[in-house]
Amino acid sequence: MRAFYFDNLQGDQRLLHDSGRSVSDEVLKSIGVLHWHIPTDQQSQIDAVAEERNYKNRDVITITKEGLGDLYETKLKGFYEEHMHEDEEIRYILEGSGFFDVRDHPTDSWIRVHLEAGDLLVLPAGIYHRFTLDEKNVIKAMRLFKDEPKWIPYNRDGATDANPYRIDYMKTLTVN
């Protein structure tokens, strides 16, 4: 896993877009973003994290152009819309690679996190973020859930700014 500030230049969202400014683990932790690197042959460590964080369910999602066919570009654009969830978003990369972009605080700048096989990322409920593949155009990820599997994005607007989960998330930032 490598994190850096997004360069905000126009162009394909799957490109690196590295501004040259690295982001430390401390900055990520300060906005509630956690990560581990767990080799994909060490499933028991994923089980331990799941138990510690009370994740009861999981599934596996594969995103490829071949797999999504005509829906590929539409799905990729949808994942890249800035949004939040009312639950933590937990992804463990099994194969391939991609980017999660998260909003820094208080600047609201994008931080780009590049994930590869073995990376586990936890985004807190209420954080604005987006996802895209990188130029390899393939990712296979395990999604972990505290309850029944669900993935409901709330695109950023005035209503999401007033969402109780967003408000609670923002309160954690003022405490830190």
Instruction: Return the structure tokens found at 100.
Output: 């999660």
Q: How far apart are CA 4 and CA 104, in angstroms?
A: 11
DSSP assignment of 87-106 equals S-EEEEEEEEEEEEEEE-TT
Q: Is the dihedral of CA 152, 109, 100, 56 positive or negative?
A: negative
Q: How far apart are CA 36 and CA 120, in angstroms?
A: 5
Q: Please identify which residue in the block is written with the tokens 């930032």.
A: 173
Binding site for Fe(2+): what residues are annotated?
83, 85, 89, 129
Nearest Cα residue to 59 out of 139, 131, 172, 142? 142
With a cut of 90, say whether residue 148 has pLDDT above it. Answer: no
Q: What is the per-residue pLDDT for 135?
A: 96
pLDDT, tens only, 67-80: 999 999 999 999 99
- CA distances to 59, 84, 105 from 127, rounded to whole Å, are 22, 6, 10
Binding site: what residues are annotated?
83, 85, 89, 129
Binding site for Ni(2+): what residues are annotated?
83, 85, 89, 129
Burial label, 41 (beta-carbon count in 10 A; 0-12, 13-18, 19+) = exposed
pTM for the model: 0.94
Q: By percentage, how much of the chain surpasses pLDDT 70?
A: 99
Helix H or strand E encompassing 132: strand 129-133
Q: What is the per-residue pLDDT for 175?
A: 63
Q: What is the mean pLDDT of residues 160-166?
A: 96
Q: Which domains does the chain have, with CATH numbers?
A: 2-175 (2.60.120.10)
Greater confidence (174 vs 54) lies with 54
What is the overall mean pLDDT for the chain? 95
Nearest Cα residue to 113 out of 44, 18, 41, 42? 18
* Segments in 9-129 forming alpha helices (H): 25-30, 43-52, 65-68, 72-79
Number of residues assigned to the chain: 176
pLDDT, tens only, 105-128: 999 999 999 999 999 999 999 999
